Structure 1
Amino acid sequence: MTVLVLVLIGVLTGLSTVLFGFGGGFVTVPVIIWADATLGPAAGTVAVATSALVMVVNAAVATAATPHPILARLRSRGMLLSLLATGGLLGALAALAVPAEVSSWGFVIYVAVTIIDMLARPGFLRPTTSEPQTCARRAIPTTLGAPIGAVASFLGVGGSVMTVPLLRRAGLPMGQAAALANPLTLAISIPAAIVFLLARHTNVHGAVFAVGIVDLGAATLLLAGAIPVIVVLRRRPPRIPDRVHAWTYVGLLAVVLSAVALPLLTTTGV
């Protein structure tokens, strides 16, 4: 049953990668916490680590299939990508240095604040202009690269929940914002995944097949469901009205927030 669920959730991560630029982070973290619940408190750390590996593969496949005119918006953004990678490295190291509950609660708090921000401030659901302002250059200042990378890898979210709203508020439609989030996620997740694969943890022996603190078995099953979906949808992308696309993004975040928060609240007796 766990194998089937992980493959089916992998299909959802493929959908989220193409439609929302998530790379799988927001979907895989709660699922892996559930799948590796026998690890106890360590499940949160394993979930973040495994999510990083899943995001590397998903984001790489999605980026390779993204039309060149869209990727051209990131031309000459080498410094931003380098800082995202540096932040990803630092965030992964920080995740290893704190109790797993810190990353799990940080995940919940960050997603909740993001949802409130998207609902309250104009520019995401209610665009302030009908014409795109500029591309990724002004939407994501280079100085934000390291902070975005650090927070994303520390929480296991991949960065899309920060980069997509920024790109959206710069005037880009949801489809393009989600597509650009994949190469940005790739820059963050590669160094983070390397750190987690090389890490050692004494409480992860119950994982399906642990390499470092990555549950490689769970990651493989998730990717088995995700990669075919990414390839198909990138070749034949669905046509979704922009406003519906934006509202669906918010709704998915709300579902993921509930999936992570409820077990934490139950565990702490809140």
Structure 2
Amino acid sequence: MMLYGVLAVIGLGAGITTVLFGFGGGFLMVPVMYQGLILAYGEDSAIGQAAMHCAVATSTSLMIFSSLMATRKHHKAGTLKWAIIRPLLGFIALGALMGAAVATWVSSAPLRWLFISYLGITILDCLFRPGFTAPSSGEVHPLGKVTTAIGGTLIGGVAACLGVGGSVMTVPMLRRMGASMTQATAMASPLTFPVSIAGTLGFVLFSWQEGQALGGLHLGYIDVLALFAMMAGSWCGIRLASRWIGKLPDRLHSRIYIALLIIFWLAMLL
């Protein structure tokens, strides 16, 4: 039961990062839940061997709740640009369904290294490619139709496969389209919703038998008790962080975003 108490606290942090940085909590929850399951059940147990799959699947399902709640907060604050968001939603959902299918077929160790590698590339991109940390005017330029289709499908596939919500792709993309950090992180929340819905359905449908073998309350690879513990913490975190929407200076906001990515990368690596 201690594990679920820890996950509730992690859910609190995930709720805060969802609102302020658009993460959806995956970068925080996946490393902690992965390590927690290994420590609680042992690396050679059925759950230990499926720890990365369980962490990714449970993180993805939590994002249904957190993305909806964060979207509501940002909509009330007036930070969403729906004309930019709507064209991407369907393609992201399609990619997420494919990504969840791939994730259930890949063993736990390669999935962990995919997560680490992807996060490392993202950090380097934010640090060394011009534009991410530069102040923004807030004038967002729309994507072309082909870029929307390819980019949306790729974002959904990677996000669902790794359980990270897609913000680590959408926030840098939106920044280079001219969005401020407040706008970019706000728009990451509704773009996370189709990832979480399609990804969760994929993890349940494609891994139902594996979930039955794990015992306890599992829907496919989704750990139901862990999910509810993190939902409770996330609800508190989102309510707490909503008062800070739009109040962080743009340059500082972008630098904290990169710093958090580095922390999560080190946590998963170690």
Which of 168, 173, 180 is the equivalent residue of 1:166?
173
Does structure 1 residue 70 correspond to structure 2 residue 71? no
Contact 2:91/2:156 (CA < 8 Å) preserved in 1? yes
Corresponding residue pairs, total: 259
Deviations 1:26-84 (A, max 9, x none): 1111111022113223101111100101111100111122226433x223754421010
11-20 or 39-48, which deviates more: 39-48
Q: CA deviation at 1:7?
A: 1.3
Deviations 1:158-191 (A, max 9, x none): 1000000111122211111111000001111111
Q: For 1:250, give the aligned amino acid.
A: I
2:49 match? 41
Q: CA deviation at 1:135?
A: 4.4
Deviations 1:191-214 (A, max 9, x none): 111122332253775576312110
Distance in 2 (alpha carbons) for counterparts of 1:167 and 1:23: 16
Deviations 1:102-146 (A, max 9, x none): 22110000000110111111111134xx42342454697343111
Q: Point out where structure 2 has 5 or more consecutive residues left out of the alignment.
A: 42-46
Distance in 1 (alpha carbons) for counterparts of 2:129 and 2:152: 22
- Percent identity of equivalent pairs: 39
2:120 match? 112
2:44 match? none
Change (3 A) 1:240 1:159: same
Q: Point out where structure 1 has 5 or more consecutive residues left out of the alignment.
A: 263-270
Within 5 Å, give how 1:218-229 maps onto structure 2: 218-229=226-237
The TM-score normalised by the length of structure 2 is 0.88
1:253 match? 261
Root-mean-square deviation (Å): 2.2
Change (3 A) 1:118 1:138: farther
Distance in 1 (alpha carbons) for counterparts of 2:183 and 2:33: 29
Distance in 2 (alpha carbons) for counterparts of 1:196 and 1:95: 8
Distance in 2 (alpha carbons) for counterparts of 1:208 and 1:66: 36
